[in-house]
Amino acid sequence: MTDPGERLRSSLAADQSSSASSASSGGAADFDSPIAMEALRATRVLHAADQDPFPVPSRIRVITIANQKGGVGKTTSTVNLGVALALYGLRTLVIDLDPQGNASTALGVEHTVGTPSVYDALVGDNSLGEVVHPTTASPKLLCVPATIDLAGAEIELVSVVAREHRLRRAIEAYVHELPPEQRPHYVLIDCPPSLGLLTLNALVAGDEVLIPIQCEYYALEGLGQLLNNIDLVRQHLNPGISVRTILLTMYDGRTKLADQVADEVRNHFGDLVLPAVIPRNVRVSEAPGYGQSVLTYDPGSRGSTSYVEAARQLAERGVDLPPLERSGLAGANGAPPVTAQSTVSAQDSQ
């Protein structure tokens, strides 16, 4: 596994030798000072898009971030991966689908009752375009916030026609309304900690699932149930959906347990697990209190650089994705939409 610090150090040193002007006053030897290292890492993250943009995906990627366990890092990963993708040049839309509205908070987006939100698009008649808000993190990052109204949506949706397809239709309509140069490259959906109708909408809306797994006891408990649900959705509602990414979160290198869990997850899921691991890092947990992601709150922290590394790996896996037969989404680059069919035979490539 490449250590993000190591990788940054060598690429920073390369930058230094090729350019006379730099944020640092000295040569490469100064990187050995922890403060200089951190300052350079911060500069690197904040001026990311100019230096080292992430690759554009071959089509729009709608990624559902799901795990019915609470506190495993779904929201933290959605927010920080979203900010990283945007800072590194990719247009990204975060959809907050948890009534708690934690992703909205971390992106500095208002989500008090009455704020136009995802509820209005799911249960009401608003289009997604009417409930999209800018974020404080990046002009390339937009957010559809969740208000507490969403807590009632699980029940209200029961009587709505095509209730499982509401979010998918909303996203498709939103993308089609936009000119190609404004279409998102990435749509990230932050799920609530349950397997109810909201998560079901997110699984029907997504092309792929990213499961954050906390490197702790019981990490794998309940995962079978989630995987079964994803299988059911694939069989009956969304033939294109599959788990494409596992992200290990809250890794504490001081404990043997964290390594054991990480090994177990890698043995089980193989290449689906991103090489980058998110460490337990206090700056990550402080950031939302300031309405920020860790990348903007403390860009040089290990939490920040790990999320950048994870986002880069995620983006690198998006450059030659197979087309989605059943999707109605046009490519972010203006590629023509692929056939819009609601029922096609399963074409799972796993």
Ligand X SMILES: Nc1ncnc2c1ncn2[C@@H]1O[C@H](COP(=O)(O)OP(=O)(O)O)[C@@H](O)[C@H]1O
Integer-rounded Cα radius of gyration of the chain: 20
Counting runs of H as helices and runs of E as strands, what totals does the chain give? 14, 7
251-283 core/surface letters (b: 16 or more CB in 10 A; e: else):
beeeeeebeebbeebbeeeeebbbebbbbbbee
Indicate whether 111 belongs to the interface with Mg ion (CB under 5 A). no
| Residue 68 binding result from Mg ion, ligand X, none, given CB thresholds of 5 to 8 Å by partner type | none
Maximum C-alpha span of the chain: 66
Q: How far is the CB of 69 from Mg ion (least distance, A)?
A: 10
Among 5, 129, 193, 222, binds ligand X (CB under 6 A): 193
Q: How far is the CB of 98 from Mg ion (least distance, A)?
A: 5
d(CA 94, CA 107): 9
d(CA 307, CA 327): 29
Q: How far is the CB of 102 from Mg ion (least distance, A)?
A: 5
Q: Is 281 helix (H, G, I), strand (E, B) or coil?
A: coil
Q: How far is the CB of 222 from ligand X (least distance, A)?
A: 12
Nearer to ligand X, 96 or 208 (CB): 96
| Residue 72 binding result from ligand X, Mg ion, none, given CB thresholds of 5 to 8 Å by partner type | ligand X
The answer for residues whose C-beta is within 8 angstroms of residue 6's C-beta and 6 or more apart is none
Q: Is 221 helix (H, G, I), strand (E, B) or coil?
A: coil
Which of the ranges 138-146, 235-243, 273-281, 317-325 carries the binding residues for ligand X, by CB under 6 A? 273-281
- Contact yes or no for 298/287 (Cβ under 8 A): yes
Indicate whether 214 belongs to the interface with Mg ion (CB under 5 A). no
Among 74, 111, 166, 244, binds Mg ion (CB under 5 A): 74
Indicate whether 82 belongs to the interface with ligand X (CB under 6 A). no
| Residue 165 binding result from Mg ion, ligand X, none, given CB thresholds of 5 to 8 Å by partner type | none
Indicate whether 289 belongs to the interface with ligand X (CB under 6 A). no
In Å, how far are 14, 161, 282, 308 from 302, measured between CA atoms?
21, 46, 10, 10
Indicate whether 104 belongs to the interface with Mg ion (CB under 5 A). no
Contacts (CB under 6 A) with ligand X, residues 150-169: none
Indicate whether 75 belongs to the interface with Mg ion (CB under 5 A). yes
| Residue 71 binding result from ligand X, Mg ion, none, given CB thresholds of 5 to 8 Å by partner type | ligand X
Judged by phi (left if over 0) then psi (alpha if -120 to 50, else beta), residue 73 lies in left
In the complex, the residues that contact ligand X under the rule CB under 6 A are 70-76, 102, 193, 249-250, 278, 280-281, 284-285, 288, 303
Q: Give the binding site for Mg ion (CB under 5 A).
A: 74-75, 98
